[in-house]
Structure 1
């Protein structure tokens, strides 16, 4: 897979995730144009505000996880990464986020890796739950740990395969674009990614990078 293919896959993911909140904005505006009842108009405004916030939160997250978020500097404030995760998963109150990152900043690629791993684990919590994110430096290595726990964990086998082995025959399915990016970020930095067994009730994803 080349850079253009990856960019296309990530754009597809972004469009897919924005389709729902942007569509809700469009529907809300259409309702507002025809609705005369004050209470219903107020409700429409509430729905518009929720959809606009959801769209903005997704864009902020994907800017850091997939794009050139953080500007041209070599590192990103970890609180910015935390806010992006909270905006993505905390809005519907289905996923509780635990943040155990003491570092003030991380390299841009380490931040992207952390966010993509958290996205994969968060998406696997199909009925909600808890998502814990931790980072620490030990023995000259940077350890990233993501733990997902909930009533049902569903991790796509293609995503699992891609995050561990990369692409097969240079091909990556659209749903595994983030997993391929995570795999590439880790391996190009001289690191590795580990996942818990599929049968486990708790999803654990760990990554080790040179500090």
Structure 2
């Protein structure tokens, strides 16, 4: 299925706006509460709310900037430690997910890091009741292999997102909700690789991709 760069950019912008509505809305609510609050204790709580929401907004923007955008320019390599820091910040928001990390310190091409961040985001959102998230990548004979595994009490992966990942999505189902998954698959395929997803399971999700080195 073909989609223009402009359409993809529009859908990804919609996703970013959707995901930022909650923390930015919390900032607005905190400011409204602070404006009419005179109790020192409550004002301190409002300030805490503002600080937490501002930090969450900044963290998400940093994640999206590398996962979807052109952070650092084009064609450069990225230190996996940067990706790990972004992922740790992402899962710290919930407090219900533990991270397993299996990457060496060697820098990886940005295209591989983008795939890793997007698959991690998809897997994290599927862990609706928390659980474990294992992330790995290594350079092999065929290229760079990326693997993300989510395990928890309940895995909830939208059928349309699954279709975007396995390449069977219909044009009508491509939306802000599925754009990141579709982009991730295209990024792997356009770089001489492929993307695979495990069969539906209530407790486990395995996502893998390979791109040429």
| TM-score range relative to shorter protein | over 0.9
SS at match of 1:175: coil
State TM-score, norm by structure 2: 0.94
TM-score w.r.t. length of structure 1: 0.95
Q: 1:210 to 1:103 in 2, by over 3 A?
A: farther
* Aligned with residue 194 of structure 2, among 186, 192, 196: 192
Match of 1:76?
78
Distance (whole Å) between structure 1 residues aligned to residue 173 and residue 201 of structure 2:
27
Alignment of 1:107-126 (within 5 A): 107-126=109-128
Q: Distance in 2 between matches of 1:91 and 1:205?
A: 22
Q: Which runs of 4+ in 1 moved over 6 A?
A: none
Any stretches of 5+ residues in structure 2 without a counterpart?
none
Partner of residue 154, structure 1: 156
Residue 104 of structure 1: SS of its match in structure 2?
A: coil
| Number of equivalent positions | 211
CA distance in 2, matches of 1:198, 1:26: 39
Which whole-Å CA distance do the structure 2 matches of 1:170 and 1:183 have between them? Answer: 18
Partner SS, residue 99 of structure 2: strand
Alignment of 1:90-109 (within 5 A): 90-109=92-111
Q: Which residues of 2 match residues 137-148 of structure 1 at below 5 A?
A: 137-148=139-150
Match of 2:15 in 1: 13
Mean Cα deviation higher: 136-145 or 35-44: 136-145
Q: 1:123-151: CA deviations, max 9, x gaps?
A: 10111111110011222421111000111
Contact 2:111 2:187 in 1 (8 A): yes
Query: What's the offset of the Cα at 1:71?
Result: 3.1
Q: CA RMSD in A?
A: 1.5
Q: Give the CA deviation at 1:201.
A: 2.2
Q: Secondary structure at the match of 1:199?
A: coil
State the Cα distance separating 1:193 from its structure 2 match.
0.9
Evaluate the alpha carbon distance shift between residue 160 and residue 109 of structure 1 in structure 2; reply closer, same or farther with a 3 A threshold. same
Paired residues of 1:90 and 1:97 also in contact (CA < 8 A): no
What are the superposed Cα offsets for residues 16-41 of structure 1, whole Å, 9 maximum, x if unpaired? 01000000000001101100111111
> 1:104 offset after TM fit, Å?
2.5
Specify the alignment match of 2:170 in structure 1.
168
